[in-house]
Structure 1
């Protein structure tokens, strides 16, 4: 491999010193234990290096200019990552050096980080009406995967029934996490209403079922009857695990109120920018049931008295259950927590308060309802689950236009609009359909512009 200015170990003298230190004569000898079929036979396809910082900066700036982002385009994409207004104080606090630079919440000096995370967990607990909330994991998809594994360990069962209107990417993560000790079965949803088929679900739940997992609102934006789902799961001794958009709790009852045993989701809507695949953080919540609490693999922060009378400190709870303590015998590997995003979400929740969350969610419901009415008036366009309630997102069918979603989205993009998430591959039963998302950043004029642009591209 040629010497590369930004890969220190590519310097021959450095590489040779490393090989000497481990007693290997060559790189090939060092990797001898790895079967040849699993090793890359040839050099990495790394471009030639830019030999000055100025040239490298110009190259990177050129790459960035190719990107089209939602600050410059009108966007109606969603599906798990959402465009919201981020208050300036969220960026101000999460950019502070005592928070931004500490790895996984473990600075040498605390600087209030543990207390900030404790306050975040407390506010999330209030929003969710749950007693225990974890320090955030990587994202909501990992949180969902972890919750069903928790249910499997708690019940001693393998079978997990998953609502069929789940985000396919989330399902893939859940299957990947649980493939060694869980079996996944999809429960069908009704194409007309977008709600779970309760009769079919009843036939899938049995005494081998560890958990019923459902998102409320669903990936398609519909809102199932949580109390009926809880009753069905509990009738066979299974746990009800609910994935939830935390913003929706400004208008929807929290899952704990209708019988959910474990709740999870993503905190990205809580003051965190869409971030090129980042900016996600997964929360898990439950009641203070020791049998379930001990199944958490992630960190839990609490407040405890110190050795000084009247003084308290913030830190880990039930540390012995984590992989930090048990290593390979832990419930799961803890890994790097998304602690910075937890602090950011805490700032957002403190700023909004209960009334602010109600106003935020109410505004989204109003925009969603208006968008459903406006889009339904476009010739050839149909709101698929028009009779159902929706939060933030809903399915729009374009079969009547004679055009595939991909072509419509390409035409919209030329007009400066990101169309809805194409569902035609992941949900073929819905035909040429797209998932459109709305938030408080969309004005009535934005929605009218979307409809006018759609009419234009469909009529061409």
Structure 2
């Protein structure tokens, strides 16, 4: 690296003498042998040479329009209206961090308040925080919250086995230090939550979690009944829902949820190779629950002159209160992602959101119908976005053959759910074109 990039490099020897060392090697002499190694980095290049090399690498990527993709399983290609990117790139949003000083952060605070208000209406629960990291961390925080609500007397949290492996890993990571036991409930012959097994698992549990569409894309039809089982056992009921489905399905709050979680980034945000995201976290209007919510809540009030104003009403993070009293140590909000989702929601409105959900349902149904002509769809039922398909041949071979034909196939389930055999999840959204599906079917006929 050139000396002009490090303004204090000329004073290196002087700094070493000041701290009592004669050389850089001597400075690191107490590092155990074997811990220091040469990285073998190449010689430096000019900015233009780096630019050319990076562009050469980037040009290897293909967009969804160049290579139709049916890879969903939690990350989906949705259409984002052009104005959303324009609005969030305004400096008032793009450069804003936590609005600690309300008097100079009214715009950001109001935008987050609008996000909370729309998500509250969408999820059917009146109190929403100004976002979590993502859906997985929102579930994990909900699990810890149910234990706090039971004052630590119950330390079991029930989840479905038909859950994203990534979410499962996040939950395990969060709950390990709290010694919270995570109980899995298997799916039944229909691919949905086994109600009899749930009744056995719920005893002495702090909370029960279910998703309105499980990891296999199946719509769980017994959500209300699951909530009743949880409440009868004295457990809190946590419901996960994709916001893009809530224009056509009942809201979690209407189905009896005490806590609802989801992924706000499905609205207004590109896939971004998997992140960043923004987790939805909502609770019913119960002060006991509100006080135990992680993250922060933006509220509306009046200033000293009686004008409408916005403030951070509740913020139970460790940096704001005594660490031992904090609800969470890692619950920063994803403000820009949340605002993008709020802009998209406001742009859609109730009618647009309903049309979005209906289009996804229709496209998913068409994808399932066509795939079932090629291979086995292991479960009957209503699917939203994802459809599992079981093949006779090893799916990895099929996937490679699809890639060679310019099509990205589905998510292989065999690694995490070996009992399903050579099964993969294929995804559809409102962006899925009929000709993409036909190209997929044609390719599968050749390789499956």
Native 8 Å contact 1:104 1:338 kept in 2: no
Alignment match, 2:123: 128
Alignment match, 1:390: 383
Alignment match, 1:86: 80
Q: CA deviation at 1:4?
A: 6.9
Alignment of 1:292 with 2:289, yes or no, is yes
Native 8 Å contact 1:98 1:111 kept in 2: no
Q: CA deviation at 1:6?
A: 11
The number of residues matched between the two structures is: 441
Alignment match, 1:158: 155
Native 8 Å contact 2:106 2:310 kept in 1: no
Task: Note the 1:190-209 alignment, pairs <5 A.
Answer: 190=188, 192-207=189-204, 209=205
Native 8 Å contact 1:120 1:343 kept in 2: yes
Alignment match, 1:261: 258
Separation (CA, whole Å) in 2 of partners of 1:301 and 1:29: 53
Alignment match, 2:208: 212
* Residue 287 to residue 55, structure 1, CA distance change in 2 (3 Å): same
Q: CA deviation at 1:316?
A: 0.8
Native 8 Å contact 1:89 1:347 kept in 2: no
Alignment of 1:362 with 2:358, yes or no, is yes
| Cα-to-partner distance string for 1:372-397 (whole Å, 9 max, x where unaligned) | 1111112xx11111x21111112111
* Residue 36 to residue 159, structure 1, CA distance change in 2 (3 Å): farther
Q: CA deviation at 1:340?
A: 0.1
Native 8 Å contact 1:273 1:279 kept in 2: no
State which drifts further: 51-60 or 230-239. 51-60
Native 8 Å contact 2:126 2:282 kept in 1: yes
* Residue 29 to residue 99, structure 1, CA distance change in 2 (3 Å): farther
Alignment of 1:45 with 2:43, yes or no, is no
Native 8 Å contact 2:391 2:422 kept in 1: yes
Calculate the aligned-residue CA RMSD, in Å: 2.6
Separation (CA, whole Å) in 1 of partners of 2:28 and 2:331: 26
Secondary structure of 1:76's match?
Answer: coil
| Cα-to-partner distance string for 1:217-261 (whole Å, 9 max, x where unaligned) | 111111221111101111111011111101011111111111111
Q: CA deviation at 1:70?
A: 2.2
Aligned with residue 189 of structure 1, among 187, 190, 194 = 187
Structure 1, unpaired ranges of 5+: none
State which drifts further: 89-98 or 103-112. 103-112
State which drifts further: 52-61 or 410-419. 52-61
* Residue 324 to residue 17, structure 1, CA distance change in 2 (3 Å): farther
Alignment match, 2:141: 146
| Cα-to-partner distance string for 1:167-199 (whole Å, 9 max, x where unaligned) | 011010011011122111111112x31101111
Aligned with residue 451 of structure 1, among 438, 441, 447 = 441
Aligned with residue 244 of structure 2, among 237, 247, 251 = 247
Alignment match, 2:92: 98
TM-score (norm 2): 0.91
| Cα-to-partner distance string for 1:199-219 (whole Å, 9 max, x where unaligned) | 111111112x01111111111
Native 8 Å contact 1:364 1:392 kept in 2: yes
Alignment match, 2:176: 179
Q: CA deviation at 1:266?
A: 0.9
Structure 2, unpaired ranges of 5+: none
Separation (CA, whole Å) in 2 of partners of 1:228 and 1:20: 73
Separation (CA, whole Å) in 2 of partners of 1:147 and 1:453: 43
TM-score (norm 1): 0.89
Separation (CA, whole Å) in 1 of partners of 2:3 and 2:90: 31
Native 8 Å contact 2:3 2:9 kept in 1: no
Separation (CA, whole Å) in 2 of partners of 1:358 and 1:89: 21
Separation (CA, whole Å) in 2 of partners of 1:7 and 1:204: 61
Separation (CA, whole Å) in 2 of partners of 1:147 and 1:133: 13
* Residue 239 to residue 421, structure 1, CA distance change in 2 (3 Å): same
Separation (CA, whole Å) in 2 of partners of 1:436 and 1:159: 33
Secondary structure of 2:280's match?
Answer: strand
Separation (CA, whole Å) in 2 of partners of 1:427 and 1:122: 38
| Cα-to-partner distance string for 1:246-292 (whole Å, 9 max, x where unaligned) | 10111111111111111111112101101022141111001121111
| Cα-to-partner distance string for 1:137-174 (whole Å, 9 max, x where unaligned) | 22111111111111111123210111110001101001
